[in-house]
Amino acid sequence: MTVYAFFPGCAYQSAAGYRESVDALNARLDIQLQELDDWNCCGATAAFSLDEPDGLALCGRLFALAQKEGFSRIVTVCNACYTTLLKARKRMEKDPQKLAAVAHTLADQGLELADSLPDVRHYLDVLVADVSDVLEKAAADNGDTAGAVAVYYGCQYTRPWISGPDAQRPRMLERLFTKIGIHAVDHSAGTLCCGASHAVPYADACGPMIRRIVREIRNKGGGIITTICPMCQFNLDAGQTDRQTDPLPVTYFTQIIGLALGIAPKDLGLNKLLIPLRTEKKKAS
């Protein structure tokens, strides 16, 4: 069993079946996510917008918690947490004075921040890089299926961390889906922006951004959207208010993979989606 330090982030617990489906996959694939004891909010875009040292301090505490438990990497399930932690890591590595300032503040609270900051990974990376062979073997012939899936990665998973074509049109999850018998549709809305937290104060401005993503996916034959981030899932699930067309269900990638492994929909928290997902038993081939 592989053990990873886990930073769930604040949005995870009320997300639509994210925890349920991640737990179900972990049990099936023998992955252990060890939640960082007493983790705090990473500060997301808010802390870095208001004051950089605050943003660094919040992330620095998480790095120190992981180091205390002997971990060299932290796994996240949210694009905003992922980018915020990576950004803090990059800033502190580039500027030792910033790291020293955070370490000094943390020392007051009895926490030690060592120079070698932990790496940050998304749970998607764990599935793609570490357990894809196990996943392939675990794929079930008799599970539930839900139809053609369109992957929506959102912004902050690839950018600004990967450059070149993968920053705009990543394909790692589509490749994984194909390996385990999930039909992934090709489309070009995978990394367009959903509006993130701007969708609250600027619902009118973000509405067209959400509609554009859903329209592109529908036009390319997608019947279900799958996401890798609580913010993206919520915006696309709650933001399809156009009554002219049937809305597309918006799932987490862990729920779609869970179905392919033959895990029952009720164990994947699918009942928590705002737009219901209808599944059916795969036909015996």
Partner 1 sequence: MDDQHLLDQFFTHPDCRKVRSCIQCGTCSGSCPLAAEMDHAPRELFALIRDGEIDIALRSNTPWYCVSCYQCMDRCPQEIPVADIMYRLKQMAIAAGCQPRSHKLPDFYRAFADDMGRNGRMTETHVMARYSLKHPMDAAANMATALKLLARGRLDLIPNRTHHPAQIAALTTMCRKRGSDS
List residues binding partner 1 (CB under 8 A). 10-11, 13-16, 38-41, 43-54, 57-58, 61, 83, 105-106, 108-109, 155-156, 159-160, 163, 167-168, 192-193, 195-198, 200-203, 205, 209, 238, 271-272, 274
Q: Based on CB atoms, which residue is closest to partner 1, 37 or 133?
A: 37
The minimum distance between CB 167 and partner 1, in angstroms, equals 5
Q: Based on CB atoms, which residue is closest to partner 1, 94 or 283?
A: 94
The minimum distance between CB 55 and partner 1, in angstroms, equals 8
Q: Based on CB atoms, which residue is closest to partner 1, 76 or 182?
A: 76
The minimum distance between CB 71 and partner 1, in angstroms, equals 19
Q: Which two tokens stand for residue 38?
A: 């007493």
The minimum distance between CB 101 and partner 1, in angstroms, equals 11
Q: Based on CB atoms, which residue is closest to partner 1, 109 or 116?
A: 109
Burial track 156-176 (b if 16+ CB lie within 10 A, e otherwise): bbbbeeeeeeeeebbbbbbeb
CA atoms within 13 A on the CB side of 124: 25
For 178, residues 6+ apart whose C-beta sits below 8 A from its C-beta are 184
